[in-house]
Amino acid sequence: MGGVAALARELGLTVEGSDANVYPPMSTQLQALGIGLMSGYAAAHLQPPPDLVVVGNAMARGNPAVEHMLDHALPYVSGPQWLGETILAGRQVLAVAGTHGKTTTTSLLAHLLEHAGLAPGFLIGGVPGNFGVSARLGNGRHFVIEADEYDTAFFDKRSKFVHYRPRIAILNNLEYDHADIFPDVAAIQRQFHHLVRTVPGNGQLIVNAHDERLTDVLAMGCWTPVETFGIGQGDWQARLIAADGSAFSVHHRDAWIGEVRWSLLGNHNVMNALAALAAAVAAGADAQSLFPAFAEFDSVKRRMELVGEVAGVQVYDDFAHHPTAIATTLAGLRAKVGNTRIWVALEPRSNSMRQGAHAAALAPSLAEADHVLFLQRADLPWDAAAVTAALDGRGTTVSTVNALIDSLRAQVQPGDQVVFMSNGGFEAAPRRFVERLQRG
């Protein structure tokens, strides 16, 4: 929604917005754009009445602002519908869908198209380092959008991505998530099939060759040419040069294309790179000319972002929301740092995490961590003791962020790697911990 606001502002519209908890980097980006931010959802925020209310999918009936909007018959629309009708109509849309890697892949794809001179517009669920903003209209005909399977709004329960009508779509992976709205993985597959139905016959689907759930989606019906990607598998293949994923060669239909050498780690990022490269080529870019751009890619903030190093302790902020993402991120870090100790501070923040939908998979996903501090706030509706018990002495629960920082400070040693994992604000814990280390 912050990106939607930024695009509306770039169109020359006067924009204000309300949210329960606005935090960096989005809050600072919006303020820099001159977008007024209001805390909470008071009816007074809609007085005098605006010309249009763009409603985010976190809003529900009973919300004071929503009730005021409905009672006073204010014009309203969902964010995805507004995007589809106002921004995306007439553009060549490249959509990036998947349970994991959407933000990184979308950012990389926009960067590759920029490198190719195509000046794309984009909307990304984070702030990519190469652009410094999460959204822009762009001067070219291409528009790259992060395509989320979450529902659109309280009045439109379809997935957001059905509004985008892409010509090129990446299907990065598919796992069970969003337990608050999807009863099972089959329900998510059905939504992905709805997306596939919107891609034209002269478009392109870029699909993970390793993912059987995506194979099942395509089996429901596919009317678009498909190219697959994978590590040692698919039309676009990566062959690892470095075990940590920082270097690999790329082959297209068995022909060597080039080598990627970059700062990102992990097999998941190798897959993200293949998907972005395949989509950029489908959009008209020359494959071999794109390889220098990988070394220049500055990843999204809060995706294994190094926020500080003090006395040999490196502190990362990572936007973790799912056990698979946690496991692949830590595997990439382990391949880089070897036997160095890895500490994980984990906040279960997503709806699925808070409901306990991923509880059984959390301990296995943390296998590469030497020590885990699990933030179990008083309002967490399930007991994390089973998770920490399964970590065989490597896990501890703490009830507050202050206690978490205190515990870390008492135990970390020079050379340790500390990864804060949350898809929320985490009360600015990573930066607060760096400041604590700096005080000695």
What is 2-74's CATH number? 3.40.50.720
pLDDT at 336: 85
Gap between the Cα atoms of 167 and 395, Å rounded: 46
Q: pLDDT in tens for each of the 440 residues of the chain?
A: 989 999 999 999 999 999 987 777 778 878 888 898 998 999 999 999 999 999 999 999 999 999 999 999 999 999 999 999 999 999 999 999 999 889 999 999 999 999 999 999 999 988 888 998 899 999 999 999 999 999 999 999 999 999 999 999 999 999 877 777 888 999 999 999 999 999 999 999 999 999 999 999 999 999 999 999 999 999 999 999 998 899 999 999 989 999 999 988 889 899 999 999 999 999 999 999 999 999 999 887 777 888 999 989 999 998 877 888 888 889 888 988 899 999 999 988 766 666 666 677 888 899 999 999 988 888 787 777 778 888 888 988 889 999 999 999 999 999 999 999 997 778 899 999 999 999 87
Tell me the domain boundaries of the chain. Answer: 2-74, 80-295, 305-439
Is 277:250 a contact under the CB 8 Å cutoff?
yes
What are the angstrom distances between the C-alpha of 324 and each of 119, 133, 289, 363, 366? 33, 27, 32, 11, 10
d(CA 67, CA 429): 35
Predicted confidence at residue 351, as pLDDT, reads 65
pLDDT of residue 171: 98
**How much is the pLDDT for 352?**
66
The CATH number of domain 80-295, selected from 3.30.70.20, 3.40.50.720, 3.40.640.10, 3.40.1190.10: 3.40.1190.10
Give the pairing type, strands 247-252 and 255-261: antiparallel
- CA-CA distance, 26 to 38, in Å (whole number)? 14
Q: Among 2.40.128.20, 3.10.50.40, 3.90.190.20, 3.20.20.70, name the CATH number for the domain at 305-439.
A: 3.90.190.20
The pLDDT of residue 82: 98
Q: Rounded distance, CA 393 to CA 409, Å?
A: 19
**Helix/strand/coil percentages in the chain, nearest 5:** 35, 25, 40
